[in-house]
Amino acid sequence: MNISELNPQAVWRNFYALTQIPRPSGHVEKVAQFLVDFAKKNGAEAEIDEAGNVIMRKGATPGYENKAMVVLQAHMDMVPQKTKESNHNFETDPLDVYIDGEWVKAHGTTLGADDGMGVAAAMAVIEDPTVEHGPIEVLITKDEETGMYGAFGLKAGELKGKYLLNLDSETEGEILTGCAGGMDVVCSMEYQELDVDADNMVAYRIAIKGLLGGHSGLEINEGRANANKLMARILFAAVNTKLAWLCSWHGGNMRNAIPRDGEAVVLVPKMHEAEFLALIDKCRNIFIAEFGEIEKDGILLTAESCDKPSKALPADIQENIINAVMAAHDGVLRFIPSIPNLVETSSNLAIINIEGGKAEIAILARSSQDSMKQYLCNGLVSCFSMAGMQVKLEGGYSGWQPNPKSKLVAMMSDVYEKMYGKKPVVTACHAGLECGIIGVNYPDMDMASMGPTLLSPHTPSERCHIPSVEKFYNFVLEILKNIPEE
């Protein structure tokens, strides 16, 4: 059986079509045009707004004309993560997807079910004339994964819907009514590279690979290793003992993905080469002892000889940056006091790029409490400012606060219980959803989030649970039938 034959076929067929169109964040022009063409082919209005979002509109089916308008919302981009063995080019290559028992996966890469599944479900509604619904708007946003730019760019008055179904959650049977807010902490500096007399030195490339990584909103509480933090520990030990001199450092590539890989090039005095390699062995054993029960795929730490660079970081710069990365908070800062199993505040030390006289570090701070988010950000600003870096806070957004009087959530809960004989879990999440941003310009819109079951999004282990997709989509169809009248 191929993926397009899975049930519900319309959802899986559309999802497979999306996997064949490259759509990493920042490169979504092709998929946006594909969605517009798809909508028009199926008799719906469609446009790309000024922010790059795709908006589709479809009239009510006969007998449902008096229903309130509902918005189906998802995002078109995906997180581009791949295994160390993969040669996949996310900007040009289709995904290689396959069925593995009850799961759909991709060979060597992220699957893009976050949020291709939400997009595919909305497409299935648009194309199927037998689906019973009132007037519908479909909002497919641009570049959610890198900064929610599409949601931020959505203008007030563009949408007419009274209710919004966000199709970007990752656990079937849950209805989300709130999420954390976020802030990007961007640290940068320029420095004058140091000319190095490397006659008595050898060069090594230290590499960390194979970590689980993960979604920094959904899996930040699982204690997974952060490649940037592990590398900082190695460099801290090597530089402070004069065993190495830092020339370059790169780690992570997405603000909302726990970094899986990293590498640094260092110069090592020939007389200390054996000590340096012993340090690498020691660090490897320490990391395996600390994270071996969590990092089930193993921790690959290597130090291989490489071409000698002619330049390095000045002593004070390398020490200041390494010290700052060591000191910077990463992981869970606090759980919600009244909901002790739900993360309130966290940070993800996501991206490090240091080479050629420029250093850039990016951190994503999250919190459902604005004051705690500001406290965390202030601490990060203080930490990296003391290292001589310029620090900017960008792309901030408040959390989506639950509405205890939501008519939409009450209706959805009743519908789910009638369909499946049990109540859904109504909760909030630590990940960022676009509802809070959209709600700024649409404060009266009643919103909820739902989706099929996905595991390990933002990693090459991402997978979608096949049985959950049918339950999720059937739930969407019943919700549309039960939307209140105007």
Helix 227-240, helix 273-291: angle, nearest 10: 150
Mark whether 37 is an active-site residue: no
Q: Which amino acid is at 223?
A: G
Quick check: helix, strand or coil at residue 133? Answer: coil
Strands (E), 142-231: 163-166, 174-179, 181-190, 194-195, 201-209, 214-215
Q: How far is CA 419 from CA 182, 413, 451, in A?
A: 35, 10, 16
Mark whether 77 is an active-site residue: yes
Cis-peptide into 8, omega within 30 deg: yes
How much helix, strand and coil, in percent to the nearest 5, is found in the chain?
A: 35, 30, 35
In the DSSP assignment, the letter for residue 60 is: P
Rg (CA), the chain: 24
Q: Which amino acid is at 311?
A: K
Q: How far apart are CA 114 and CA 467, in angstroms?
A: 17
Cis-peptide into 100, omega within 30 deg: no
Token output for 265:
């090039």
Where does residue 456 fall: left (phi above 0), alpha (psi -120 to 50 degrees), or beta otherwise? left
Token output for 404:
């205890």
* Residue 207: closest CA among 187, 222, 190, 227: 227
Angle (CA) 66-70-76 rounded to 5° is 150
Task: Kindly name the residue from 115, 137, 143, 144 that is annotated as catalytic.
Answer: 144
Q: How far apart are CA 318 and CA 5, in angstroms?
A: 55
Q: How far apart are CA 69 and CA 47, in angstroms?
A: 18
Q: Dmax of the chain from CA atoms? A: 84
* Contact status, residue 104 vs residue 3, Cβ threshold 8 Å: yes
Secondary structure (DSSP) of 247-294? EEEEE---TTEE---EEEEEEEEGGGHHHHHHHHHHHHHHHHHHHTTT
Catalytic residues: 77, 144
